[in-house]
């Protein structure tokens, strides 16, 4: 996102910090397929149900929702 968009639209940008220099390691773990990340996908919904997907995420009833066109 461009700085101009943030300023013009008075957007709030929030970030988080857990640990330094961990992103490259995290990518290597994901690429190695050591973890079965497919198990994190709890719902697969069509595009017309996107609002339902958002709602179940807000309620804490899902871990990861995949929306497909």
Give the pLDDT score at 13. Answer: 80
Over residues 5-22, the mean pLDDT reads 81
At residue 19, the pLDDT reads: 76
What is the average per-residue pLDDT within 39-65? 95
Task: Give the C-alpha distances (Å, rounded to integers) separating 25 from 17, 38, 39, 45.
Answer: 15, 19, 21, 31
* Mean pLDDT across 6-15: 84
Reply yes or no on whether the pLDDT at 1 is more than 70. Answer: no
Query: Cβ(32)–Cβ(54) under 8 Å?
Result: no
């Amino acid at each position: 996102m461009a700085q101009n968009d943030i300023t013009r639209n008075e957007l709030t940008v929030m970030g988080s910090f857990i640990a330094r220099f961990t992103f490259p390691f995290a990518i290597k773990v994901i690429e190695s397929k050591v973890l079965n990340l497919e198990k994190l996908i709890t719902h697969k919904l069509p595009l017309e149900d996107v609002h339902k997907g958002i709602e179940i995420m807000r309620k804490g009833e899902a871990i990861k929702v995949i929306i497909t066109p």
